[in-house]
Amino acid sequence: MPRSVVRCLGLCAGVLALLLCLAPAHLAAQAGTIQGRVLDSAGTAIPGASVSLDRSTARATTDAAGKYTMRGVGAGSYTMRVRAIGYTPTETEVVVEGAGLTTRDIVMARTAVELAPIDVVVGSRARHTAAEELAVPVDVFTAEEIQKQGTTETSQILQALAPSVNFPRQSVTDANDIVRPFTLRGLSPDHTLVLVNGWRRHTTAVLNTFAYGMGAGSTGVDMNALPSGAVERIEVLRDGAAAQYGSDAIAGVVNLVLKEGKFSPFLTASGGQYVTGKGYKNDGTTVDLNGGVGIGLGRGSLALFGQFQQRDPTNRAWADPYLVDQSGVADSINPSNGQIVIKRNNMPQPNLHWGDGLEKNTMTFANFRMPLNPAGSSEVYAFGGYSKRVGTGNGYWRYFDSARNWPEIYPNGFLPEFRPDVEDYSAAGGIRTSLGGWAVDFGATYGANSFDYNLRNTLNASLGPSLTTPTAPGADGILGNADDPGIPNQTSFRAGSLKRNEILGAINFARQVTLGLPQPVNVAFGLAARREQYEIVAGERASWINGNHQAQDSSGAAPAGSSVFAGFSPTDASKNDRSNVGAYLDLETDLSPQFLANVAGRYEHYSDFGSQLTGKLALRYQPSRRLVVRGAASTGFRAPSLAQSYFSHVTTSYIAGQLVEVGNYPVNSPAARALGSKKLREEHSLNLSGGLAVTPRDNLTITVDVFHIKITDRILLGATFDDDTTLAILANAGITGVAGVQYFTNGLDTRTQGIDIAADLRVPAGAGNLGFNAAINYTRNQITHIDPIPSVLANSSEPGLIDTVTYIAITDERPDWRGTLTSTYDRGPFSTLVRASYYGKFSSAQPGFCDLCRENYGAKTLFDLEVSYRFQQTKVAIGARNIFDTYPDSPSSNRPSDPNDPTSDPVKLFNNNYGTFPWAAASPFGYNGRFLYSRVEMTLGW
């Protein structure tokens, strides 16, 4: 470990030891605690109320009993602000006299119309305040809103709530069928930083190697590894924040705030199924159990959460007009809907899979808090969880007479299947206290993710046609010599693993400081040290070895490695790590009663590429109570991930209509260096934003924000270099056995521009309350520069550093316009939700016969409906997502080809896999159709 990291960790440890020694003796004497309850006029507890103090960083959220506690409050007089949705915001004066406990109960009046802001963690490290009072846009989604979305996948919930979020559900993308990250503002998954309780969340081990469906070569956070029932609220900062939070926060920050405190046990059970038309059977049955309990532990608490989810597969593939049995007879297919007209063989249809795979997900999480003294001025906290997911995904069909099959094993061909195990671990903890008027938070977090590539229903064609007797001749082509593999074929494989972990330690300080300005300055600063590790584990020998058996046809040697995903070989296997240290300073003050300024700076040093300095300036002007104008400018960066630097594997891809092996090589590998690769360096960003918030009436809020994000030296997985000149260069370097090579590169610059518009309205409606929320996002991505092709390939016919598929994926694969209009009506125990979700036009391309083809898809609007009724401690809900069964447009080339028609155009027909994949792979709302569900929420007596 570099000395700089050791020194930083040593300093943090020393500070922690000092804090632990001083806290009991001195801190209680310098700071006090405020606690109490928040109630309505009838004396009923109000859970989820936000409590904060002016001129202080202290804040709290009430638990199920309406209780709150704010620790580490210095002596003085404060204005306490209390907010809760559905209640009039309340302010009251409170005086803290040194050490000890100050009790203050608050009674709030219910209102039918007024909107109450919610205090947030992100947006400013110097203080916690209402989102509306920040100089940057922050969306806040409460537990109640999360529960009403008709899905239990956190990423899908986020997409339904925030139009700037995209969560594509692609198919036939290897590991990404099972681990699907989200994107923000049209950028890659790794351009959004995810926090849990304000601490950095680790990313998944999976690297996307497909150009469509999401950013090629990116890694993101697996949001579906956390129980949705553990989340109290989701905060989405829609602004660059690398100067405050470090690498990755280019598009923004998503913070998941966990439920805490003592609360009664709850259990939510839901179930649903896709009930769709277009000739498909009902499928995708989903069952979900989600629960939690908050246990009081003296002055502290322990909240425990668990979730089990099982989702059956869906399939939207059409019948295959090329599927024949050994007699060579194909079915007659209706070209308008992909259905069988005349069944001519005994082969089951559809033989391919295009949709969601089977998924079983078990998630647990815990959140612990314990005050260290009666005054509560210091506390220990910890949170973390474990999840395990078993899923399935499929590749392309292997026909019985192809070079990738042996009829002796699969007489009719086969559909290979992924069945990976995905495990995720996280743990965080620390101490919060007060020292000399400074609020201090010292802690650490650890996260780990692993993905085991288990394959079923497949084979290694190079090992020959026998499952019992070794028949592969080895490199010399002569069976019986010493170079023979000496193993028979098999139908399932352990193809290796990807593992990633990181550990981070940090210490943060915050307080108000008087510097002669009109108001005190909120000051925050901190130090952090982080270590990351990325590992590729080789698969079993049979999954990667080349047995050199000749194929059953006349094509020559059979393809090596387990079909659909060749195992990681010992050459691919590696374990790499790096470390970095960082320091930040965040200052915020009111320069006048109307004018707020925030400035932040951050220094980071990485062991593998050097240092970075970033900064941010944010301003907020409020000329009246009903108008706020805000703007921000920041610089940012994203370090190349370890996966991008060291991933190595041979992938099955389509080139010129043929399944071939393409090597994804690290930039420092002989293959990549032979083709002109360069060491990866960090991405740089410039983020400009501006907007306003208008409150024409107390029950109406409108916000408008524009943004401009420029990224230079953007990292991506380059094009597949595969022409004859390229292969000759590789052969001269001693690299054979692959038909193409890809590697990562800082190959382009991009510009992202757009606008976010949101409006909230609440009005009384008879004996109930009616609420409306409208949110619109427009995002445009442009490529402003592409590096020239490496000079070593100047005399080749390679088209460029990126291909058309990647170009379209970056610029046009996300909808240009996204919008939601949500209406809620609440009357006593009765509640309804109606939502319209608009997805604008987008384009997509998939590798195949027609790599230059662009498929264009029109705009669609989906409608959701939920109706619920509460019976004392039980709530019952029924609902529908996509109630009108809307599908994306079919590709423009979409019509099943006729194998008996010699005039069929295979170039255009292939972009939907010969008519078998009728819907867009990158559809932002999927292509499963209508989903009907019911849900029961129970609060159990304690």
Mean pLDDT score across all residues of the chain: 86
Q: What is the pLDDT of residue 46?
A: 85
Query: Residue 686: how many CA atoms within 13 Å on its side-chain side?
Result: 5
Angle (CA) 239-89-522 rounded to 5° is 45
pLDDT in tens, 709-766: 999 999 988 888 888 899 899 888 888 777 888 899 998 999 999 999 999 998 888 8
Is 908 a residue whose pLDDT tops 60? Answer: no
Sequence spans of domains, the chain: 3-16+32-92+112-317+352-888+923-939
Give the model's confidence band at 182: pLDDT under 50 very low, under 70 low, under 90 confident, else very high.
Answer: confident
Q: Judging by beta carbons within 10 Å of its beta carbon (0-12, 13-18, 19+), is residue 852 exposed, middle or buried?
A: exposed
Percent of all residues in the chain with a pLDDT value above 70, rounded to a whole number: 88
Alpha carbon distance 376, 439 (integer Å): 13
Tallying the residues shown for the chain, one arrives at 942
- Class of 3-16+32-92+112-317+352-888+923-939 in CATH: mainly beta
Give tens-digit pLDDT for 422-454: 999 999 999 999 888 888 999 999 999 999 999
For residue 504, give every residue at least 6 positions away whose Cβ sits within 8 Å of its Cβ, in sequence order, or none: 199, 200, 444, 445, 446, 528, 529, 530, 531
- Give Cβ neighbours of residue 585 (< 8 Å, ≥ 6 apart): 523, 524, 525, 600, 601, 602
Please list the residues that pair with 751 across neighbouring strands.
710, 782
For residues 683 and 745, is the Cβ–Cβ distance under 8 A? no
* Contact between residue 897 and residue 915 where contact means Cβ atoms under 8 Å apart: yes
Check whether 854 has a pLDDT greater than 80. no
* Per-residue pLDDT, 179: 86
**What mean pLDDT is predicted for residues 565-590?**
94
What mean pLDDT comes out for the span 598-606? 95
Residue for token digits 């990291």?
A: 5
- CA distances to 323, 590, 593, 810, 902 from 333, in Å: 11, 70, 72, 35, 16
What's residue 380's pLDDT? 96
- pLDDT band for position 896 (50/70/90)? very low
What's the CA gap between 331 and 326, in Å, rounded?
Answer: 13
For residue 201, name the pLDDT band (cuts at 50, 70, 90).
very high
- Ramachandran angles phi, psi of 380, nearest 5°: -105, 140
Amino acid found at 56: S
Q: Is 541 helix (H, G, I), strand (E, B) or coil?
A: helix
767 or 38, greater pLDDT: 38
In the chain, count of helices (H) and strands (E)?
11, 48
Q: Which pLDDT does position 9 carry in this prediction?
A: 42
| Residue 843's pLDDT band (cuts 50, 70, 90) | confident
pLDDT at residue 903 in the model: 56
Q: Which residue has the tokens 């966990």?
A: 258
Q: What is the pLDDT of residues 757-773, one digit of tens each?
A: 999 998 888 888 899 99
CA distance 370 to 300: 4
CB 306 within 8 Å of CB 294 = no
Alpha-carbon gap, residue 332 to 334, rounded angstroms: 7
The pLDDT tens digits for 620-648 are 999 998 899 999 999 999 999 999 999 99
Quickly state the pLDDT bin for 891 (edges 50, 70, 90): confident
What's 542-605 look like in SS3?
HHHCCCCCECCCCCCECCCCCCCCCCCCCCCCEEEEEEEEEEEEEEEEECCCCEEEEEEEEEEE
Cα–Cα distance measured from residue 318 to residue 334, given in angstroms and rounded to the nearest whole number: 10
Alpha-carbon gap, residue 218 to 191, rounded angstroms: 9
pLDDT at 931 over 50: yes
Q: Indicate if the pLDDT at residue 302 is higher than 90.
A: yes
* Closest C-alpha to 166, from 796, 730, 814, 645: 814
Cβ(543)–Cβ(496) below 8 Å: yes
The residue behind tokens 């000149």 is 725
Average pLDDT over residues 574-581: 96
Q: What is the pLDDT of residue 56?
A: 66
21 or 377, higher pLDDT: 377
Helices within 113-186 (DSSP H only): 143-147, 154-161
Cis peptide before 371 (omega within 30 of 0): no
CA distance 631 to 179: 36
Q: In what order do the strands lie in the sheet with 199-200?
A: 138-142, 231-237, 252-258, 192-196, 199-200
Confidence at residue 19, expressed as pLDDT on a 0 to 100 scale: 41
Q: How confident is the model at residue 393 (pLDDT cuts 50, 70, 90)?
A: very high
pLDDT for residue 650 is more than 80: no
Q: 345-369, pLDDT tens digit by residue?
A: 999 999 999 999 999 999 999 999 9
Question: CA-to-CA distance for 678 and 502, rounded, in angstroms?
Answer: 26
Start-to-end CA distance of the chain, whole Å, equals: 49
Q: How confident is the model at residue 215 (pLDDT cuts 50, 70, 90)?
A: low
Task: Answer whether residue 119 shows pLDDT above 60.
Answer: no
Q: Label residue 252 left, alpha or beta by phi (over 0 means left) and psi (-120 to 50 means alpha).
A: left
pLDDT of residue 674: 92
Residue 231 scores a pLDDT above 50: yes
- Whether the per-residue pLDDT at 814 is higher than 50: the answer is yes
pLDDT of residue 217: 81
Model pTM score: 0.86
Q: Is a pLDDT exceeding 90 seen at residue 21?
A: no
